[in-house]
Amino acid sequence: VAQGARNFTAPQESAPEASAPQDWRPDPLEPRLMLEREVLKARVQLPALMTTWTSIEDGSFTHPAYKALAATINSLGATRSFASEEITDPQMKALFTELSVEPIRADGKPTETYVASIVARLREVAISRSIADLKSSLQRLNPVENEIEYNAAFAQLVALESARRSLHDLALGSL
């Protein structure tokens, strides 16, 4: 009976592993990831309009699959068009194919201005995350005991805030 029970539980233990390959795919309706998805769709479908792709900072994409696809695009040539056949990873090929046929959420036909604005918004969100992290570490620093480190962090914060404001203006002004 113990052996039968052990055999009965073994498939349950392996079931999550069997479904794990499906878990890599981001939910297309996840609001937190929609901007990342839109930028990737624009890059996949409209590479000629994606003139600001190389300006996207590391860490802008937060979902592992989107990070991996961005890395794949960069490895194949960030500024050129390519076909899904050039992608060797089956998951990345599937995601690339999915994004290549999914409609872009734009009013009318997407333009270079629209693409630049969503890239600016993606970069603004990423910089906002960096600002939050920097503010958190800045709060833990004693400006009297760690004056040099504090001043350097504060200067970095000012620069990030300035960049965030510029990207915000670009994202809004381009729409």
Instruction: Express each pLDDT in 80-127 by its tens digit.
Output: 888 899 999 999 999 999 999 999 999 889 999 999 999 999 999 999
Residue 1 confidence (pLDDT): 44
Q: Nearest-CA neighbor of 25 among 101, 96, 119, 105?
A: 96
Q: Is 122 exposed, middle or buried (0-12, 13-18, 19+ CB in 10 A)?
A: buried
Residue 166 confidence (pLDDT): 93
Residues whose CB is less than 8 angstroms from the CB of residue 54 and which lie 6 or more positions away in sequence, other chains included: 78, 79
Give, rounded to a whole angstrom, the gap between the first and last alpha carbons of the chain: 68
Give the tokens for residue 55.
Answer: 């300006």
5-54, pLDDT tens digit by residue? 444 333 344 344 444 456 788 999 999 999 999 999 999 999 999 999 99
Residue 14 confidence (pLDDT): 39
142-161, pLDDT tens digit by residue? 999 999 999 999 999 999 99
More confident residue, 27 or 78: 27
- Give yes or no for residue 132 having a pLDDT over 70: yes
Distance CA 122, CA 57 (A): 9
Average pLDDT, the chain: 87
Residue 174 confidence (pLDDT): 54
Task: Give phi and psi for 49, each to the nearest 5.
Answer: -90, -15
Give the tokens for residue 101.
Answer: 């046929």
Residue 79 confidence (pLDDT): 78
Distance CA 129, CA 34 (A): 17
Q: Is 65 exposed, middle or buried (0-12, 13-18, 19+ CB in 10 A)?
A: buried
Q: Whole-model pTM? A: 0.80
